A and B are shown apart, each in its own frame.
Chain A
Amino acid sequence: MAAFLELQRISKRFGGVRALCDVDLALEAGEVHCLVGENGSGKSTLIKIIAGVQPPEPGGRIVLAGEERTRLTPAESTRLGVQVIYQDLSLFPNLSVAENIAIGLHLGRPRSVDWRAIRTAAEAAMARIGVALDPDVKVETLSIADRQLVAICRAMAAEARLVIMDEPTASLTRHEVDALLDLVRELKRRDICVVFVSHRLDEVMEVAERVTVLRDGRKVGTYEAAEMDDHRLALLMTGKEFRYDLKDVDVSEQPVALAVEGLTRTGDYEEVSFTLRRGEILGITGLLGSGRTELALSLFGMNPPDAGTIRVKGREVTLRSNRAAIEAGIAYVSEDRLTLGLVLEQPIAANLVVTILDRLAGPLGLIRRADREAAVTGWIRDLGIKVSNPANPVRTLSGGNQQRVVLAKWMATRPRILILDSPTVGVDISAKDGIYEIVKRLAAEGVAIIMISDEIPEVLYHCHRVLVMRAGRLTGAFRPRDTSEAALRVAVNA
């Protein structure tokens, strides 16, 4: 099969920084190709060059749909069949599904709108790949998964022959990911080339044939997906060997930090009982909607239970607010660090101390700058946050470092119990590893930790004990050394 896109010796610099260096890439029609690499490895730059948004350095060669170029423009790239589905999907929430799909018809010189043509084009695009959405509803009323379908239909309506999806599975549930992968198979049958850019590979590998790994702007290689596994991929992406094993710490002698007995909140979860000891890392896994996050919120006082007891260090507590939970020594790091955990536009320093303003305050409620700075520097050092200046907004940090700021913020309240909800969503491998290191260190210092995650390897390799939650009930308890990924997966999905 002839290559649909061939890139040779593609380089790109931004100022003094080399974003890409002599990268070759060949994509075939009807192929599903994975493009992987850590943040800053050059993935986005490569996509922008293919989409024509940025020109490569002179000396490279691009052959797209049989036409040779030294660079592309966005219009040309679109004309030759390239469609990029960005992570934010680039949809218009205020417009209907049909108009979003056929938005390309609004391009060009001003003229009157042919609404019938828009509807026909949208319905044709949906029918072609078997998507059934009401064309008249506004996109803002759709779920993320449905919005993604709209974005894919739009690519279809634009006669895409190469669809590049940037992190398409990041915000989908397992079930939705399956539906997406089915759709990708359909695209493949239509001889459309699909490129996945992803951190989460276990899912994508099911449909991908080849994987290209980028590291520091260079291509490490292109590999058959069949001969790839998580471990090898992590090695190729980072150049470092990660050993995921937790020393089996015996915590059975440690005092019980948290005991939950018969906790119930109708509609969310029922009859949940477990104990958590000092220094223990307890994993809770389950599908989205299994009640895991609702349980965590109850333990943090934000979703009061209907029945059951919560004991902290043997004393029964009633948690009616997050303030009560913080006072009881419980901290919670939310699933969505971007919307709930941080004030993105505020300085890093301000975000770090926001939970301990009371403690920093002196007489008259004023805060001494020196105290504040000491607290900030301490946390930046302790958690290894890479910061050029603590006065910069949190927004300027990478995902992994933002996550550390959230952790630091809560560790500053000196919790005895730390609840982490999906702590590594959207974080790349090296940064993930950094977070696991911190969690391990906190546990060793005696903090009791609950780690909630739907990524099985995460709880399996980083927890002392794993509880499985299904339809609001705890349905199993596992010791990592006595179980396997496959067994846990069965327990979660059964």
Chain B
Amino acid sequence: MRERFGTSALARFAGSHEGRLLAVTLAVVAGLSVATTGFLTVQNLFDLLTSYAFLGILAAGLLVVLVAGGIDISFTATASVAQYLALSLANAYGLGWTTTFALAVAAGVACGLVNAWLVDTLRVSSIIVTIATLNIFYGLLVFVTGGQYIYALPDWFSAGIFWFETVDAEGVSYGLNLQILLLVAAFALTWLLLNRTTIGRQIYALGGNRDAARRLGFSTRRLTFFVYGYMGLMAGLASLAQAQLAQSVAPTVLVGRELDVLAAVVLGGASLTGGVGSVLGTVLGLVLLAAIQSGLVIVGVSSYWSQLCVGLVILLSVSSTALTLRRRAGRVSA
């Protein structure tokens, strides 16, 4: 009766956004590997993971907000606040890992809850609210700190972690560092949240049909607090990953990168209207972004071109999704 009735999971995946994205990503990676010798090396992959961890952790948080039908622009400011607060207190009071992380996460969640409270009570679109809070958080931070960098970080923090260290034939060592660990943890946690908990499914439901979710008795208020709080949590974690990598706290360098994160998540298939998006898609979106940006640098193209390239890829990705949807809609109405 219906031909799609028998469609296998594999065929369904191939036709999905994630399926097409995987194909494109593999093609780009394959192309770069053939064109250069430096791209597909273990060292480069570890370097990429480490340097894109900051964006990736934030992307995991933003994905959850987008799925719920909201958007957050303020997370880079949140991360700046969390970073500064946690590490300056760690310096002042000689705090350890646990307390420092707890502080960063608490600061992030607090900022997230402010966003949630504003979105929920003002009922203004979240993009406006978070553009405002981006400026407020950032403005306050720069005012209080005078924009001063912190270069002297606690020794244990500067040293970071390096687990499962292995050394290859050329004497280069690899291992699990703080960035990779946090990145993997952020994606794993987000995957579990979205696919394996009732809260995650309620978040999808909320993004898919807000009125219906409310009628069913889901607490839209509590979910709003949860998703923006979760974004804050991720911003807190990302901020420490970034500070550890940069070996400094710079209140002014994070703000401005929010669009990179948004690009990765949207490239990954998340919809700005809510209800759609997956961790796999976001991971692929991030990988594609990283491959293009770093790959072009390795090939020797100027970074301006790589920006242009990223723009084109986003445009192509979005229009291919829109075209598929339109074709599908056309078939149904015909």
Contact = CB atoms under 8 A, between A and B. Distances in A.
Looking at chain A's contact residues, the main secondary structure is: loop
Interface string B138-150: 0000000000000
B36 interface: no
A134 B2 contact: yes
Interface string A93-105: 1110001000111
Interface in A45-99: 74-75, 78, 86, 88, 90-95, 99
Kindly state the interface size class of chain B when it binds its partner: 20 to 34
A134 B204 contact: no
A111 B201 CA distance: 11
Interface stretch (B120-128, B153-161, B206-214): B206-214
Contact of B207 (A88, A94, A99, A141): A94
A173 to B, nearest CB: 14
B216 A94 contact: no
A143 B332 contact: yes
A106 interface: yes
Nearest to A151: B212
Contacts of B2: 134
Kindly state the interface size class of chain A when it binds its partner: 20 to 34
Given A86-B215, A90-B215, A134-B4, A103 B205 contact: yes
A266 B7 CA distance: 32
Interface string A104-141: 11111011110000000000000000000010110001
Given A86-B215, A104-B216, A113-B195, A99 B332 contact: no
Looking at chain B's contact residues, the main secondary structure is: helix
A110 B197 contact: yes
Contacts of A141: 4, 328, 332
Given A110-B197, A112-B196, A113-B198, A95 B218 contact: no
A94 B204 contact: yes
A92 to B, nearest CB: 4
A111 B197 CA distance: 6
B108 interface: no
B209 A111 contact: no
Contacts of B207: 94
A106 B208 contact: no
Nearest to B2: A134
Nearest to A110: B199
Contacts of A113: 195-198, 200-201
Contact of B208 (A88, A92, A112, A143): A92
A141 B3 CA distance: 13
Nearest to B206: A92
Interface in B12-39: 12
A93 B209 CA distance: 8
Nearest to A139: B208
B212 A106 contact: no
B275 A94 contact: yes
B198 A108 contact: yes
A111 B216 CA distance: 17
Given A113-B198, A143-B332, A90 B216 contact: yes
A107 B208 CA distance: 16
A90 B209 contact: yes
Contacts of A92: 204-205, 208-209, 212-213, 275
Contacts of A110: 197-199
Contacts of B330: none
Interface string A194-234: 00000000000000000000000000000000000000000
B198 A106 contact: yes
B276 interface: yes
Contacts of A78: 217
Contacts of A111: 197-198
A95 B211 contact: no
Interface in B275-294: 275-276
B32 to A, nearest CB: 34
A171 B212 CA distance: 19
Contacts of B12: 136
Contacts of A90: 209, 211-212, 215-216
A76 B215 CA distance: 13
A75 B217 contact: yes
B202 interface: yes
Contacts of B304: none
A103 B208 contact: no
A95 B212 CA distance: 13
Given A104-B216, A134-B4, A91 B197 contact: no
A85 B16 CA distance: 31
B163 interface: no
B199 A93 contact: no
Contact of A103 (B4, B9, B196, B216): B216
A88 B198 contact: no
Contacts of A74: 215, 217
Contacts of B208: 92-95
B197 A107 contact: no
Nearest to B274: A94
Contacts of B216: 90, 103-104, 107
12 contacts: A75-B217, A91-B212, A92-B212, A93-B208, A93-B209, A94-B275, A105-B198, A106-B202, A107-B217, A110-B199, A137-B4, A141-B4
Given A92-B205, A112-B196, A113-B195, 7 more contacts: A74-B215, A90-B211, A92-B209, A93-B208, A94-B276, A95-B275, A110-B198
Q: What 7 pairs across the A-B complex have the smallest Cβ distances?
A: A90-B212, A94-B275, A92-B208, A94-B208, A106-B198, A110-B199, A106-B201
Interface of A: 74-75, 78, 86, 88, 90-95, 99, 103-108, 110-113, 134, 136-137, 141, 143
